[in-house]
Amino acid sequence: MKIAVISPNVNNLQEMGRVLGTYSHSATLIEGGKSRMRIVAEQEQPDLMLVEGMCCDPAELAQVEYVTTHHPSIAVILLCATHTPEFLINSMRAGVREVLPSPVTPAALEAAVSRIAAKRIGGPARTLGRILAFMPCKGGSGATFLATNLGCQLAQTKSVLLIDLNLQFGEALSFVHDGEPASTLADVARDIGRLDASFLTASTVKVAPNYSILAAPEEPSQAMELKPEHIDAILNLAVAQYDFILLDVGRTLDGLAIKALDRADRIFPVLQAGLPYLRNASKLLTIFKSLGYPMNKVELIINRFEKSNEIGIDRMQRSLGPVTLHTVPNSYKEVNASINHGDPMIDMARSNAVTKNLAAFALSLSPREDENRGFLGRLFRRA
């Protein structure tokens, strides 16, 4: 069970951490007061939150009620030096599980944590969003086009966030939207201490009712401000807010990109049916193997595929080994028009083969639509 402990008293905080450690509980210790509850809930996503320092003022319970309402899977225990019967009643109405005396004794703390843990056994698991990473094996592969347009398809039934991690030359937003971002990934990193659901939403561009994009930095120099821990914090929050998080990753495999790929549930390198693409794809697969990624985490997408290609599926499979290959058909004219106009394929050419292919791909990724995979899954051809 993941526990977060918040207290303005450093000594009490350390003592609670020591007690929890003695009973083999793992806890994150946060120095501060009730104002930290919202950010901790959204960044850490704990199973249990212990909050010390509340007084008898019912107005203070607004912070508690926000957490219990917006994060019902988080159990909240308050630790109060003094309290009244009215405060206890209002606390329970706000969703608090228990109110303990402060400072709390080791026995009382362990008993309360054990009660919460016992209630969680057999309860439904919290469903978190899936992280899908797209990256080009070579420039011009079409990874950004596929990521942005797949996002449009997924957003027909799911909530989607696309994060543009091509930090030097990212332009994912322009593929499906003609506006300028008010904030970028660099702005979020600069104010990472403010990160919560509202801040993240305000930093994105809403390109469709269920589809938002967090744009890459506008200036390449701003990319230097981003660190792997920033990406980790953003993804921790995003998986609790969205059904799918799509990462448009550049070709540079630095520490930040590797952190993003580590977090991904699935990685989709994108290539075309050409020898330079095959060579780079083989190098990527070797790197992924050295990083310890399991075989089922990586699936290659062959973009602009035609049966008449000089290099066919069989040759690519022999060259790349036992890895799953997907194909997306060639429709250069329509795809190029979509990119130039900044309009998604689903709006410009709904009956196009590429649009139908991505629709079937989205359907295969959507757990709610599993029963339809047998028919529509064939539209997204697998080699």
- What pLDDT is attached to residue 63? 85
| Segment 163-219, tens digit of pLDDT | 999 998 899 999 999 989 999 999 999 998 888 888 899 999 999 999 999 999 988
- What pLDDT is attached to residue 122? 56
- What pLDDT is attached to residue 375? 42
For residues 68 and 261, is the Cβ–Cβ distance under 8 A?
no
User: Measured between alpha carbons, how far is 197 from 273 in angstroms, rounded to an integer?
Assistant: 41
At 233, the amino acid letter reads A
Label residue 369 exposed, middle or buried (CB < 10 Å: 0-12, 13-18, 19+): middle
- What pLDDT is attached to residue 306? 92
For residues 16 and 50, is the Cβ–Cβ distance under 8 A?
yes
Q: Which residues contact 77 (CB under 8 A, 6 or more apart)?
A: 48, 49, 50, 51, 96, 97, 98, 99, 100, 112, 116
| Segment 79-94, tens digit of pLDDT | 988 877 778 778 888 8
* Residue 251, token pair as written in the block: 């070709």
User: Measured between alpha carbons, how far is 311 from 327 in angstroms, rounded to an integer?
Assistant: 13
- What pLDDT is attached to residue 383? 43
Label residue 35 exposed, middle or buried (CB < 10 Å: 0-12, 13-18, 19+): exposed
User: Measured between alpha carbons, how far is 218 from 234 in angstroms, rounded to an integer?
Assistant: 19
Q: What is the maximal distance between C-alpha atoms in the chain?
A: 80
- What pLDDT is attached to residue 57? 66
Mean pLDDT of the chain: 88
- What pLDDT is attached to residue 189? 92
- What pLDDT is attached to residue 359? 95
For residues 109 and 95, is the Cβ–Cβ distance under 8 A?
no
**Residues forming CATH 3.40.50.300 domain(s) in the chain:** 130-379
**Is there a cis peptide before residue 101, judged by omega within 30 degrees of 0?**
no
Q: What is the CATH number of domain 2-120?
A: 3.40.50.2300
* Residue 33, token pair as written in the block: 């007061």
- What pLDDT is attached to residue 376? 45
If one counts every other C-beta atom within 10 angstroms of the C-beta of residue 214, the result is: 25
Please name every residue paired with 131 in a beta bridge, in sequence order, or none if there are none.
245
**Residues forming CATH 3.40.50.2300 domain(s) in the chain:** 2-120
Q: What's the half-sphere exposure (Cβ side, CA atoms, 13 Å) at 172?
A: 37
User: Measured between alpha carbons, how far is 147 from 133 in angstroms, rounded to an integer?
Assistant: 8
For residues 232 and 263, is the Cβ–Cβ distance under 8 A?
yes
User: Measured between alpha carbons, how far is 203 from 182 in angstroms, rounded to an integer?
Assistant: 7
* Residue 137, token pair as written in the block: 């094996």
Q: What is the CATH number of domain 130-379?
A: 3.40.50.300
Q: What's the half-sphere exposure (Cβ side, CA atoms, 13 Å) at 49?
A: 30
80: left (phi over 0), alpha (psi -120 to 50) or beta: beta
For residues 101 and 82, is the Cβ–Cβ distance under 8 A?
no
Grouping H, G, I as helix, E, B as strand and the rest as coil, residue 161 is strand
| Segment 2-19, tens digit of pLDDT | 899 999 999 999 999 998
Write out residues in the chain with pLDDT < 50, as ranges.
125, 369-379, 381-383
Please name every residue paired with 6 in a beta bridge, in sequence order, or none if there are none.
30, 51
Torsion of CA 14, 18, 67, 245, to 10 degrees: 100
Give, in order, the Cα–Cα distances in Å from 189 to each of 225, 227, 245, 355, 370. Answer: 7, 8, 18, 34, 37
The helix or strand, by DSSP H or E, that contains position 135, with its residue range, turns out to be strand 130-136
User: Measured between alpha carbons, how far is 229 from 56 in angstroms, rounded to an integer?
Assistant: 37
